[in-house]
Copies of this chain bind each other. A is one copy, B any other.
Amino acid sequence: MNLWFTENQTDNLRLSFRIKKLIDFRKSKFQSLAVYDTFEYGRLFTLDDFVMLTEKDEFVYHEMISHVALSCHPNPENILVIGGGDGGTIREIERHVRVNKITLVEIDKEVVDIAKKHLPFVACGFEDKRVDVFIEDGIEYIKNHKNEYDIIFIDSTDPVAFAEGLFRTDFYQFVFDALKEDGIMVAQTEYPFLKGDFIKQVYSSLKEVFPIVSPYLAFIPTYPTGMWSFAFASKKYHFINDLNPEFTKPFADRLKYYTPEIHKAAFALPPFIKKLID
Give the interface of A toward B (CB within 8 A).
4, 6, 10-18, 38-40, 56-57, 59-60, 193-194, 217, 219-221, 224-227, 255-259, 261-262, 264-266, 268-272
Contacts and interface: CB of A to CB of B under 8 A. Distances in A.
Nearest to A258: B270
Contact of A264 (B18, B57, B221, B265): B265
Contacts of A270: 60, 219, 256-259, 262
Contacts of A262: 268-270
B17 A16 contact: no
Contact of A38 (B12, B17, B56, B266): B12
Nearest to A272: B256
Greatest chain B CB density within 10 A among A18, A56, A220, A270 is at A270
Q: Which 4 A-B pairs have the closest CB atoms?
A: A226-B226, A265-B265, A265-B268, A221-B225
A270 B221 CA distance: 14
Contacts of A224: 221
9 contacts: A12-B39, A13-B17, A13-B18, A15-B16, A56-B193, A57-B193, A219-B270, A257-B271, A259-B270
B261 A268 contact: yes
Contacts of A217: 219
A181 to B, nearest CB: 31
Contacts of A266: 265
A215 to B, nearest CB: 13
A255 B272 CA distance: 8
A225 B10 CA distance: 17
Contacts of A18: 11-13
Contacts of A56: 193
Contacts of A16: 6, 13-16
Given A221-B226, A257-B272, A265-B265, 15 more contacts: A4-B14, A13-B17, A57-B193, A59-B272, A60-B270, A194-B221, A219-B219, A220-B226, A256-B271, A258-B270, A259-B268, A262-B268, A262-B270, A264-B268, A265-B266
A40 B221 contact: no
A38 B39 CA distance: 28
Nearest to A223: B226
Contacts of A255: 271
A220 B57 CA distance: 17
Contacts of A220: 226
Contact of A226 (B219, B264, B271): B219
